[in-house]
Homo-oligomer: A and B are copies of this chain.
């Protein structure tokens, strides 16, 4: 029987210009000493950095900076951020960027209230018991971190990439201005779209009970990504496309569609090893892994789910045999990832060989829940990796 908790306390301000109109007053509700977290400097090129800095200065906010947060953010950045906050009595965190920047800021906030090393919180060795308030300004539609309670952090020393979840990790407020994603490259738009799609697909193909209403919502979000990702690729400043992708990003992974499901994902732990070992872009890794995983897991007991996916998302003829629908659906998904989005279709083209497959499969097998859609052992995951070569 469906049973779950849900709340979405993050205040979302969505639309063109919301940062200009509401960021300062929102931050000042929580304090006037801010740590501004961002990535490699693309926000300086677009002018967003200057824009935000002048808004903050005009409003009497003092700003420290944590810059250079990498995609697949490192725990070293988290530690650095915590130090700055402690030394300067930072009261509020501001994350300006995509999911990596927001995730890093989340763990800075949680680590601030933890005496030990921040990796303990990332790796669930210690429990998150509080956080500095976090406000995010999203510049990439992908991970959904802007409205969820999860952060994924990598550890260079151990080649680990792990996710932590806590109610304290919800941003207090997130600013979603679709125009801030106009400058996102074609590759990142494609990878982000694959990531959003994957969050829904991982939920759709999962154990736990199917809730009719949520199945229809999931199909709607997947259709939205398929509808608008090509539009955004062709016309990067198309507001409607960027807005739909941006809002889809959050709803793919804020807990709503996950209601009644056991939340034991498969492609993510399999992909996380690629990010950890090769620093592969997460969405690209998911696009390579997902169709192979779907094909590997298909069997008589679960073909019905593939059938719904094929018929309701890709419009495949419902009169066909479920296995035929499944096969066509997987092909249609490959067509979407590789031809429509233009993402690389295998490891070889992405510069990845078979040298780490055994090691990665071992780690993925440990990360994969026994409650997964189809429980997989190390050997199964090895085969899936091999099929990706």
Given known A216-B220, A220-B220, contact A7–B11 (CB-CB < 8 A)? yes
> Which single member of B11, B220, B227, B248 contacts A5 (CB below 8 Å)?
B11
CB contacts under 8 Å to B, within A217-249, are 217, 219-221, 223-224, 227-228, 239-240, 243-244, 247-248
Interface size on A, residues (CB 8 A): 39
- Binary B-proximity of A131-145 (CB < 8 A = 1, otherwise 0): 000000000000000
Choose the segment among A13-21, A91-99, A153-161 that binds chain B (4+ C-beta atoms closer than 8 Å). Answer: A13-21
Partner among B239, B244, B247 whose Cβ is within 8 Å of the Cβ of A1 = B239
A319 within 8 A of B: no
Contact call B15/A212, Cβ cutoff below 8 A: no
Determine the distance from Cα of A15 to Cα of B4 in the docked complex, in whole angstroms.
Answer: 7
Looking at the complex, which one of B178, B211, B228, B259 makes contact with A212 (CB distance below 8 Å)? B228
For residue A293, give the distance in angstroms from its CB to the closest CB of chain B. 25
A370 to B214, CA, bound (A): 34
The residues of B that contact A300 with a CB separation of less than 8 Å are none
The smallest C-beta distance from A247 to any residue of chain B, in angstroms, reads: 6
Assembly CA distance A228 to B220 (angstroms): 19
Nearest-neighbour CB distance to chain B for A188, whole angstroms, equals 20
CB A200 to nearest CB in B, in angstroms, measures 11
List of B residues within 8 angstroms of A13 by Cβ: 5
| Residues A220 and B224 in contact, CB atoms below 8 Å apart | no
Determine if B9 and A4 form an interchain contact, defined as CB atoms under 8 angstroms apart: no
Q: Please measure, in the bound complex, the distance between the C-alpha atom of A36 and the C-alpha atom of B4, giving whole angstroms.
A: 25
Cross-chain contact B1 with A16 (CB below 8 angstroms): yes
**A249, B247: Cα distance in complex, Å:** 22
Q: Which chain B residues border A219 with CB–CB below 8 Å?
A: 216, 220
Contact with B along A4-40 (1 / 0, CB 8 A): 1111111111111010000000000000000000000
Most chain-B Cβ atoms within 10 A of its Cβ — which of A3, A16, A228? A3
Chain B residues whose C-beta falls within 8 Å of the C-beta of A11 in the assembled complex: 5-7
Report yes or no: A224 in contact with B213, Cβ–Cβ below 8 A: yes
A7 engages B4 (CB within 8 Å): no
A12 B7 Cβ-Cβ under 8 A = yes
CA distance A360 to B14 in the complex (A): 38
Asked if residues A213 and B2 are in contact (CB atoms below 8 Å), the reply is no
A228 to B221, CA, bound (A): 22
Chain B residues in 8 Å Cβ range of A1: 15-16, 239, 243
| Interfacial chain B residues near A213, Cβ < 8 Å | 220-221, 224, 244, 247-248, 251
Closest CB of chain B to A78's CB: distance in Å? 27
Q: Considering only CB atoms, which chain B residue lies closest to A250 in the complex?
A: B6
**Distance in Å from the Cβ of A8 to the closest Cβ of chain B?**
4
Instruction: Give the residues from 258 to 280 in chain A that come closer than 8 angstroms, CB to CB, to chain B.
Output: 259
Q: Which of B18, B220, B221 contacts A3 (CB 8 A)?
A: B18
Query: Closest 9 A-B residue pairs measured CB to CB?
Result: A3-B15, A216-B220, A213-B224, A8-B8, A6-B12, A7-B11, A2-B243, A213-B244, A9-B9
6 contacts between A and B (CB under 8 A): A5-B11, A5-B13, A211-B244, A212-B244, A216-B220, A247-B259
Seen from chain A, the residues whose Cβ lies within 8 Å of a Cβ on chain B are: 1-16, 18, 178, 211-214, 216-217, 219-221, 223-224, 227-228, 239-240, 243-244, 247-248, 251, 259
